[in-house]
Structure 1
């Protein structure tokens, strides 16, 4: 990733916020072990303002798609309130291993920390924080080995850590390539197939909502096409 690469991934820009298409495999900020991260290149996104934009929320390292940045303090405060109050609508695409028995549904499953030694790893926990996800099947297929795959649209109603990944795993259809909650650690496994497809933000009161979509990432296109998705429908 270079500053120019990041600028080329800009999906939306106005005076208050930016939306960039985050690549899979790159963390949004520096972790305790250091290493390359997206935030290191935010200075390239100042576009004349005295300070670089800042993260309004987070995406996991291996998740691609819509990432929202605030361009100044007041914008970040507004975005923070909108995220906290659940007024920002998020839509994700995922490929899961397995065959949901229904075509759509709602998951209401509280989540808690797995244990103190596993960082941010989560698990279903009746005593944990409430977590809800709406889901819908957009396509189905079988891979070359005869394994069922499903292309899901996921709409989280809450914002818990790893919520979508844990919810899908708990339902019996883990995400393709998930190294923590699925089979992504096995040899030859693909990257995580989870993409922040769309973000819908009521940034200004009494104004039209801002809706931004990120194109399907290269690493998911083969499985998406197998499930019936076509690039020309982007």
Structure 2
């Protein structure tokens, strides 16, 4: 029915209007006996790493698409943010709209925009940084990045909504839980910590065994 791959940061999931390298170009070896390549069931930003779900055939894609649309798929992201949240957890309820017609997918808080909600909790802290778990309850473009920036602690390395930086975007799709079958337990997949986030995560949580997670 599906495959879940560990997407590396720095590559687009599909070919954009300007072309360029993308993950879909590498799907041929993932057929595993089926006549067609698997296809994307959802999207991750170019600079986001972690769990990416593929449907292996048309019926699988339809089922997965419905689960995503109905909000039945649970997602957890790990991020290192530039700032110190005043609380240890909370809910961000902030509608989002297009920043500018000429800015493509860039977004902004907009009271007249589409509803967008994100649960968050702090897992560790360091000087001027925090390690947070983000659970999007809706699936708006750049939702996590805009929500964090709007609260005053943009995701570290975010070149659009934050300060950027050589370390790259510190956002990782850590876990996804999919209720694929009615008569079986949901499928949960965890993606290992990417190399470009190990140092910053360890600074916020020295007890995290990054080599084995």
The bucket for the TM-score relative to the shorter chain is over 0.9
Give the structure-1-normalised TM-score. Answer: 0.89
Question: Quick check: 1:191 aligned with 2:176?
Answer: no
Alignment of 1:121-200 (within 5 A): 121-142=106-127, 148-184=128-164, 189-200=166-177
Could you list the structure 1 runs, at least 4 aligned residues long, displaced by more than 3 angstroms after superposition.
none
Which whole-Å CA distance do the structure 2 matches of 1:224 and 1:218 have between them? 10
Cα deviation, residue 218, structure 1: 0.2
Which whole-Å CA distance do the structure 2 matches of 1:233 and 1:51 have between them? 35
Q: CA RMSD in A?
A: 0.9
Alignment of 1:2-81 (within 5 A): 16-81=1-66
Which whole-Å CA distance do the structure 2 matches of 1:49 and 1:232 have between them? 35
Which whole-Å CA distance do the structure 2 matches of 1:129 and 1:206 have between them? 34
Give the structure-2-normalised TM-score. Answer: 0.97
Which whole-Å CA distance do the structure 2 matches of 1:54 and 1:97 have between them? 35
Report how many aligned residue pairs link the two structures. 211
SS at match of 1:205: coil
SS at match of 1:168: helix
Structure 2: which 5+ runs fail to align?
Answer: none
Alpha-carbon contact 1:175-1:182 (below 8 Å) kept: yes
Which whole-Å CA distance do the structure 2 matches of 1:103 and 1:221 have between them? 22
Structure 1: which 5+ runs fail to align?
Answer: 1-15, 143-147
1:230 paired residue number? 209
